[in-house]
Structure 1
Amino acid sequence: MTETAAPRYTLWQLVRYALALGTWGFGGPVALVGYMYRDLVERRGWISEADYKEGMTLAQLMPGPLAAQLAIYLGYVHYRVRGATLVGLAFVLPSFLMVVALGAVYMAYGGIGWMQAVFYGVGAAVIGIIVMSAYKLTTKNIGKDRLLWAIFLVSAAVTVITKSEIIWLFLGAGILVWLLRAPPKRWSKGRLNGIAIAAPIGAAALAAAVDWHQLLEIGAFFAYAGSFVFGSGLAIVPFLYGGVVQEHHWLSDRQFVDAVAVAMITPGPVVITTGFIGYIVAGLWGAVVAAAGTFLPCYLFTILPAPYFKKHGKRPGTVAFVDGVTAAAIGAITGAAIVIGQRTLTDWVTAVLAIVTVAVLWRFKKVPEPVIVLVAALIGLVAYPLMAHA
């Protein structure tokens, strides 16, 4: 086993980075994990390639929001539970405060019509950002490896066809590469994995222990969503729709669509839409309980298995498994870009915006994404009314 090298950064520096990413990081989980790779692995060298890939694997295998889990794991790498906790809070808090503020405005003024215009532009730019993130991850992690390319293509195709991410595909890819490239000489004990999965499920139920009946319902539902829904970003949306609109009747169809729009036009993790939904249902405490119910399970699902990943992450079998899962994950990210693009690029204006975004990011590598998002939002405000009446 190789020990993790001493950190080249302080915990406060990483927390400040997570706070900034949570404040300015547009584009959803696919773009956010790309930013973390670019900033923490490539540019600053704070996190090693191996640690990043281990974090991506853990985030893909465990249920919950991908970007938040990766951020929590990266906080764990050198600063253990304290780092995971502070980085996770710093990453989620800015977008939570934003959706609560938007929820207050929404309830006060009866809807947010201008959001459609903003999302019209921002959504198209986000597709361009996701495409560039997927390209960078693909070239860096897969290269010319034929086996990993095959896994990548299968994963991308399955994601496009099913419009969801399938956990068994990630596991199967990891096991395939493991068996082909570093077959085990003997089977190791598997008790820890059972504990790592069972413990957070029990702990997640505690997140719903609220006296008020409505808050209890909200907490229980979102803790369940955070504990058992695999997939990232918009993959959780159909599950939320079934519970929030069809089962509990907390929101109307229009309110739910507005909630998803809020999540997409605010930075940070897309699943922070749960905070907005909670606010509409039960005000500030509803937002707090819904967000906590969603993120507490993913926090526990990350820090409990993390010691195992740190201890065994450098073994050849684990490295091979991680390579396979990473290839499948990047394929799913690429497939997700296609799925979201089909829903977002609805006319020639949005298509051009996405292409221009890719071109700008390709040509001018230091252009900050928030600037692109802001310009796209302004274009959306102008172009959407014109296209709607065309």
Structure 2
Amino acid sequence: MTNAEGVAVKPAKTADLPAHGIAFGEAVRVWARVALLSFGGPAGQIAVMHRIIVEEKRWIGETRFLHALNYCTLLPGPEAQQLAIYIGWLLHKTKGGLVAGTLFVLPGLVAIMALSWIYALFGNVGLVQALFFGLKAAVLAVVLEAVLRIGRRALKNNVMVGLAAAAFAALFFFQVPFPLVILVAGLIGYAGGKAGWAPFLAANGHGKVGGRQVADIDTALGEAVPAHARPPVSWSLKIAAAFLVLWLVPVLGLLALLGPGHVFTDIAVFFSKMAMVTFGGAYAVLAYVAQQAVDHYGWLKPGEMLDGLGMAETTPGPLIMVTQFVGFMGAYRAPGSLHPLVAGTLGGLLTTWVTFVPCFLWIFLGAPFMETMRSNRALSAALSAITAAVVGVILNLAVWFALHVLFAELRTMSGWGMTVDVPIPSSINIASAILTLGAMLAVFRFKIGMIPVLAGCSGLGVLYGLVTGSV
């Protein structure tokens, strides 16, 4: 084939393009951009995705975006990353989902790993301690803001408020395991929805996400359902088997080779369980992770969990990436015959693997059947109840953080089946209390963004360290 000047040209490979006309290479570049801009927790990440994928690129419309998002809220794990997997799969089949989901995690993985190395090597240096001293105060304010933000969306009636209060009491006063709290809330909601009780049938979902609404018919994908979104059951079984092998074979292999009680085995088993019960996002499960990592396994000290959360808040990617820091420090402190940094690196990578591989399984297996799941009234009611309970779970996390940030000493009080950590008033850290109050004023009164608050508090922490001579 030649052009008007008689020069041979290569014909366009239009057959290589999907029907919607979005080249896979372009999608890879866009997903990399989404990943690098995904700061601010799930709300900020979903907003970034909506702005780029829906408003700017017009690849899918508002209705389809929310349809996918509401499905992802039904699943355990980070809903923002799962939404990226879902849209990537919808546009470019399995390879699209793999690329979108992997790129969404990759920047955070690299950043948290680098910060974990720095923390392990220089964490006792005065400058680093002062920086994280300020960061803790900001993180506490951010978690409290998450309680209010999710509460406004989830607590739509007194029944939902009661579920949130019961979840908080079960965790804070009676140390009921987090997975059991979520399971019971889901069962109550399912029963309420099945019975048709009005409090459980209130509209669920995220509602409007962006400022500009884009109709599905005006987008590249349009309103039609792609052929690959209606796969046979055999395909679903094959993809489920493949990801189950990728997820569980390393866990079973570590159990066989190292046995129970080894740090790598504990990491693989514990975070695999977390991957199955992390309904409601990262904040909901962090209190349970912190409790187990600090009190049961001894991987971290209480304040170090806040340091890791500060790392995750200030780097791109899912907030649940904080678990990589937990796995890193756990293996770093029990390296066995390995160099501590090598063990820590392997522990962090193992944590990330067993945390995120299940996310691909949930989407590739369940997305083709999402219409049936979304139209099920009882399942929607179960999600509403779980979301309400999550408010109580996150409040428990906020109280746990506050006790360990603001007070140097706690005493345990027991009675009537309850066990409660009570602060000793004389051990209050005045500087930390003032900095926390300032962070709360910045977040709640002046509506300052998360990143400026985190940066400002870190800077004030360093300044305080210089003034007091601890740096």
1:373–1:87 CA distance, 2 compared to 1 (3 A):
farther
CA contact (8 A) 2:139 2:310 kept: no
Corresponding residue number in structure 2 for 1:28: none
**2:76 is the counterpart of 1:72:** no
**2:437 is the counterpart of 1:355:** yes
Corresponding residue number in structure 2 for 1:371: 452
**2:101 is the counterpart of 1:58:** no
Count of aligned positions: 345
1:99–1:323 CA distance, 2 compared to 1 (3 A):
closer
1:233–1:97 CA distance, 2 compared to 1 (3 A):
same
Among the aligned pairs, what percent are the same residue?
15
Rounded to whole Å, the distance in 2 between the matches of 1:182 and 1:128 is 38
CA contact (8 A) 1:14 1:87 kept: yes
Rounded to whole Å, the distance in 1 between the matches of 2:328 and 2:268 is 13
RMSD across aligned positions (CA):
4.1
Deviation string 1:191-211 (CA, Å, 9 cap, x unpaired) is: xxxx9999977643433558x
**Residues 371-390 of structure 1: pairs in structure 2 closer than 5 A:** 371-384=452-465
1:39–1:142 CA distance, 2 compared to 1 (3 A):
farther
Corresponding residue number in structure 1 for 2:132: 119
Corresponding residue number in structure 1 for 2:366: 308
CA contact (8 A) 1:151 1:173 kept: yes
Corresponding residue number in structure 2 for 1:222: 267
Instruction: Kindly name which structure, 1 or 2, has the bigger radius of gyration based on alpha carbons.
Output: 2
Rounded to whole Å, the distance in 1 between the matches of 2:159 and 2:242 is 35
CA contact (8 A) 2:134 2:459 kept: yes
**2:33 is the counterpart of 1:16:** yes
**2:360 is the counterpart of 1:292:** no
Corresponding residue number in structure 2 for 1:263: 308
Q: CA deviation at 1:127?
A: 1.1
Q: CA deviation at 1:139?
A: 0.8
Q: CA deviation at 1:51?
A: 4.4
Structure 1: gaps spanning 5 or more residues: 1-5, 26-31, 60-65, 185-194, 246-250
Corresponding residue number in structure 1 for 2:168: 156
Q: CA deviation at 1:52?
A: 3.9
Amino acid paired to 1:180: G
Deviation string 1:75-96 (CA, Å, 9 cap, x unpaired) is: 2332235455444433443343
Higher helix share: 1
Rounded to whole Å, the distance in 2 between the matches of 1:388 and 1:152 is 44
1:48–1:333 CA distance, 2 compared to 1 (3 A):
farther
CA contact (8 A) 2:247 2:358 kept: no
Corresponding residue number in structure 2 for 1:332: 393
Corresponding residue number in structure 1 for 2:286: 233
Rounded to whole Å, the distance in 1 between the matches of 2:248 and 2:399 is 35
Corresponding residue number in structure 2 for 1:63: none
Amino acid paired to 1:373: L
Q: CA deviation at 1:372?
A: 1.2
Q: CA deviation at 1:266?
A: 1.5
1:223–1:106 CA distance, 2 compared to 1 (3 A):
same
Q: CA deviation at 1:238?
A: 4.3
Amino acid paired to 1:149: V
Corresponding residue number in structure 2 for 1:321: 382
CA contact (8 A) 2:113 2:345 kept: no
Deviation string 1:233-252 (CA, Å, 9 cap, x unpaired) is: 3532443457865xxxxx8x
CA contact (8 A) 2:405 2:432 kept: yes
Q: CA deviation at 1:316?
A: 0.9
TM-score (structure 1 length as normaliser): 0.71
**2:158 is the counterpart of 1:146:** yes
Deviation string 1:114-143 (CA, Å, 9 cap, x unpaired) is: 332222211111111111122111112323
Rounded to whole Å, the distance in 2 between the matches of 1:74 and 1:101 is 27
**Residues 117-196 of structure 1: pairs in structure 2 closer than 5 A:** 117-143=130-156, 145-162=157-174, 166-183=178-195
Rounded to whole Å, the distance in 2 between the matches of 1:139 and 1:301 is 30
Amino acid paired to 1:297: V
Rounded to whole Å, the distance in 1 between the matches of 2:239 and 2:181 is 20
Amino acid paired to 1:157: A
CA contact (8 A) 2:81 2:105 kept: no
Rounded to whole Å, the distance in 1 between the matches of 2:173 and 2:110 is 35
1:329–1:10 CA distance, 2 compared to 1 (3 A):
farther
CA contact (8 A) 1:99 1:272 kept: yes
Amino acid paired to 1:295: T
1:136–1:104 CA distance, 2 compared to 1 (3 A):
closer
CA contact (8 A) 2:243 2:360 kept: no
Amino acid paired to 1:263: G
Rounded to whole Å, the distance in 2 between the matches of 1:354 and 1:99 is 24
Amino acid paired to 1:93: L
Deviation string 1:227-286 (CA, Å, 9 cap, x unpaired) is: 1245633532443457865xxxxx8x7xx6786465234134221212355467446653
TM-score (structure 2 length as normaliser): 0.60
Rounded to whole Å, the distance in 1 between the matches of 2:80 and 2:114 is 24
Rounded to whole Å, the distance in 2 between the matches of 1:340 and 1:320 is 31
Q: CA deviation at 1:386?
A: 5.7
1:52–1:164 CA distance, 2 compared to 1 (3 A):
farther
103, 106, 114: which one pairs with 1:90?
103
Partner SS for 2:375:
coil
